[in-house]
Every structure is written in structure tokens, then in C-alpha cells.
Amino acid sequence: MALTAAQATEFLNTYGIEMPEFLLAAVLEMANSRNECLELNYSPAVITLLQSFLLGMFSLAQGGRMVTSQRAPNGAARSFQYKNTAELWRGMGGVLSKFDVHNCLTDIIPADPSNANFVGIWVGKAPTCMGGDR
């Protein structure tokens, strides 16, 4: 069972996420490439869930904008927000880890975009008098 572009778009729209068609096609191809493992281990409903949340994680990883409001059918008067995706990411990742117990999709889950490593140099200054006169 392969997730279709129409299903994927409908899922992303529920989160207000837009993904360019060429990226959507690439992610769907990657997700659907695991159908043999998925179909061997899961029901069609669970496959749909897994592929949908994998798609959601890829869309969040790209750092795309989320539509917050739209007043006209032609796209006029649309508002966007660039959200902190950490909470959504954890939720989708939780669904994947809970349901993909056979690790069919584990190696293609993108890196968490909210996980940042920080490097710094701390400099300390010792007293200038080392002779014990003070």
C-alpha cells in the first residue's frame, strides 16, 4: 500500500504545511520504497500512519512555513508563520517509534531540526599576583 500524493497533501494541510511538489514526490518515493518491509509487518492502517508521520517529519525538517490563515480561495490574504517545530517533531517521532517496532523507516528519518549543538570557549582569568605578596 503506497501513500498517494493526494493523501500526503491532505495530511500536510491539516498542519498548515506546504511542501513543493518535487519534494513531496521525492519523500513519497523514499517512504514507499520501504513498502516490502512495511507490508510484511503491519496492517494497511498502520502503514498509512507511519508513512504520513514520516512525511510530516521531512516537511518539518525542511523548515518550511506554515499557513496560519487564508481568506481567499486564490491564495490572497494568506498569513504564514515560521514555527518552532520541536513539539510537532517530538509528537510525530513518538508515533513513528511507537508503531514502527520493526524499524522499517528508522534509517530514513531525518535529523531533528530543533536539536542544536552549541560550542563555546570559556576563558578564566587568574589573579596577576602569584608571588604571595597580597
Domain boundaries along the sequence of the chain: 5-108
pTM: predicted TM-score of the whole model, two decimal places: 0.58
- Pairing, β 78-81 against β 66-70: antiparallel
* pLDDT tens profile 93-109: 776 777 778 888 877 77
> What's the CA gap between 66 and 17, in Å, rounded?
5
From residue 51, alpha-carbon distances to 6, 69, 117, 120 in Å are 13, 27, 28, 39
pLDDT of residue 2: 80
Pick the more confident residue, 51 or 60: 51
* pLDDT tens profile 22-48: 988 988 898 888 889 999 999 999 889
CB 109 within 8 A of CB 96: yes
